[in-house]
Structure 1
Amino acid sequence: MWLYFRFPLSFREVEELMLERGVIVSHETVRRWCAKFGQAYANGLRRKRPGHGDKRHLDEVFIRINGELKYLWRAVDADGNVLDILLQNRRDKAAARRSFHRLLKTTRSVPGVVVTDKLRSYGAAHREVMPSVEHRSHKGLNNRAENSHQPTRQRERAMKGFRSVGGAQQFLAAFSGISPHFRPRRHRMTAAHYRTEMTTRFAIRDQVTGVAGLPAAA
């Protein structure tokens, strides 16, 4: 299951990789693992992260699901960690307001600064939901949120598109919490620092999944 969330692989590719290691699983088994454990593991990893500061970056991107255009609203912190995602039919004021409300509920805190692009829906929703919070509306300042869409696009291509709104929401909610855990900013690290960081992250993964408490194999 971790292979599926960590890399832009399809179910079949994960199945083949497991087979190479002598583990026989079916396409449906991998899907059920992801549905059953994905969100719980993502929530566990989020709880292990340090505080996410008081700055929020919000952005939306279109996704086609069975030929229908939907919009994926995403909120990230200053480090690019995904705080919340929400699939909606529109990108109007009501959709932006719903995204703001959901972000406040998910993070359980009021941000100090909200950064968005120049979509007017953000400004209208901001004045209603959190008028006391500073709002910076500028496309160049919102690269954090825009870059966070890239893993989703990679996954979308690997899966040859999403089949349903509910399935996409369920998968992306877990994927956005797990995938970044294995994607530190490697371009800013030395090789030694990267190896140490990944060792720490795999140890955290073992704690979240309960593997750390199991006896070592002979």
Structure 2
Amino acid sequence: MKTIPIAPDHKGYRFPPEIISYAVWLYFRFSLSFRDVEELLAQRGIIVSYETARQWCVTFGQTYANELRRLRPHCGDKWHMDEMVLTICGKKHTLWRAVDQDGNVLDILVQSRRNKHAAKRFSPQGAPIRPSCHYHR
């Protein structure tokens, strides 16, 4: 788990910021229920009610998300498109990948058609991919 370097104000909370951020991370990263978060924390010896975990997620979730979004690496100003033909269930499909100058994958599209309309769907009017793009792993 990556810790958030600039944590929101945790004054007045019973638990340290590390436990609060861990509970919020568990909930959002793995799409768990609050009761699942409560159980996972209990396995580590941290007794927290599911309602407390819910309140932490409501209070700190957006702040953590904004901070992670700010720290996310930005894509480069130059990119190129890779094209590959795949066979899926006996049918040919075309895979397009947009890759920036550092080798990070910016976007992926797999389609059964390879034509002008399909290419425009991947990158409309040949416009460059926006800097707010997200990376695929």
Q: TM above 0.5, one fold?
A: no
Q: Structure 2 length normalisation: TM-score?
A: 0.41
Which of structures 1 and 2 has the larger relative contact order (alpha carbons within 8 angstroms, sep 6+)?
1
